[in-house]
Amino acid sequence: MAPYDRSLRTLRHRLIEAGLPPRHARRVTRELADHHTDLLNELAAAAITGEDAVRTARQRLGALDDLEREILARDPRRSFVKRYPALAFPLGLPLLAALLVTVTLMGTIGLAEGLEAIGLGGQGLHLALVEGHYVFAGYLLVPLLGLYAGWTARDHHLAWYWPLCAALVIAVAGGLLFQTTLTPPVPGQAGSGAYEIGFHMADGLHVKSLWRLVSPFLSFALFLLWRPKDHMTV
């Protein structure tokens, strides 16, 4: 890696630490890197190469410390996740999980209703839906949130315990969801929905409860194994 690239990487790190949204910090340093390349090309056309060209290009771009100050003073964009991790992770992500499960469930019900309306699917599928099996199907997507939480924390240079905290809240909330019963409306009769909270203990821990407890941690654990150590602070 060229020395200027290393300096830009340091600048990017410092901008993210200061709260600039990671995506924007990456864009700033990419623009500076491109500009540096353009300057080197311009200098090469003027027969200035090697160390002289690098030094001149850096002088023309300005000291990175000054640039950092200028960027942070003038750019109003700040990351919500970096500023309020206590809101974003233990509260925001569980809400996102609830939304994800609900949307998946409603989508699946809508699809089944549609299939039944055109004579496909049949009663068996419909019964499976109203008995709430598809809540579990919706929950199959929850591990993605663990991955998203881990990636977000890494991207924002946040401590590892924030995504873990989110996974814990999602696991407890999901594990407590004992049963969901939905009855779609039929002509002459209103539909209904019911949530039961509790752990299924009658014949051991129910596989669905177990999945709901464990799934938020799965991708997070994978993420912990994979993550580059220098990107996450403790």
Partner 1 sequence: MAGNRNPDFMNGVPELLVLRLLKEREMYGYDLVSAVREATGGEIALGEGVIYPTLHELEAGGFLCARRKAVNGRTRIYYGLTPKGNERLKERITRWSRLTTAIATCMQGEKAHGTV
Residue closer to partner 1 by CB (options 64, 149) is 64
Beta-sheet pairing, 177-183 with 192-197: antiparallel
3-state secondary structure of 131: coil
Q: What gap in Å lies between CA 32 and CA 90, rounded to an integer?
A: 36
Nearer to partner 1, 15 or 145 (CB): 15
Indicate whether 83 belongs to the interface with partner 1 (CB under 8 A): no
Of 137-176, which residues contact partner 1 (CB under 8 A)?
none
* Using rule CB under 8 A, residue 23 touches partner 1: no
- Is there binding between residue 117 and partner 1 (CB under 8 A)? no
The reply to whether 39 sits near partner 1 by the rule CB under 8 A is yes
CB-nearer residue toward partner 1: 32 or 165 = 32
Euclidean distance between CA atoms 196 and 181, whole angstroms: 8
Q: Of 76 and 187, which CB lies nearer to partner 1 in the complex structure?
A: 76
Q: Is 28 in the site for partner 1 (CB under 8 A)?
A: yes
Of 217, 216, 220, which Cα lies nearest the Cα of 101?
216
| C-alpha span between 39 and 56 (Å, rounded) | 9
The DSSP bridge partners found for residue 183 are 192
Q: Which of 14, 19, 75, 178 binds partner 1 (CB under 8 A)?
A: 75
| CA 89 – CA 218 distance, rounded (Å) | 17
> At a CB cut-off of 8 Å and minimum separation 6, what does 101 contact?
135, 138, 139, 141, 142
Size of the site for partner 1 (CB under 8 A): 22
Q: Which stretch binds partner 1 (CB under 8 A): 25-33, 140-148, 154-162, 221-229?
A: 25-33
The interface with partner 1 within residues 199-218 (CB under 8 A) comprises none
Tokens 């056309």 belong to 45
- Interface with partner 1 (CB under 8 A), residue from 1, 73, 118, 190: 73
How many other CB atoms sit within 10 Å of the CB of residue 71? 19
Distance from C-alpha of 208 to C-alpha of 179, rounded to nearest angstrom: 10
Q: Kindly state the tokens that stand for 216.
A: 């938020």
Of the candidate residues 23, 77, 83, 133, the single one contacting partner 1 (CB under 8 A): 77
**CB of 76 or CB of 119, closer to partner 1:** 76
Site for partner 1 contains 34 (CB under 8 A): yes
For residue 135, state whether it binds partner 1 (rule: CB under 8 A): no
Closest CA to 162 of 230, 234, 227, 225: 234
Q: Which residues bind partner 1 (CB under 8 A)?
A: 24, 27-28, 31-32, 34-35, 38-39, 60-62, 64, 66-67, 70-71, 73-77
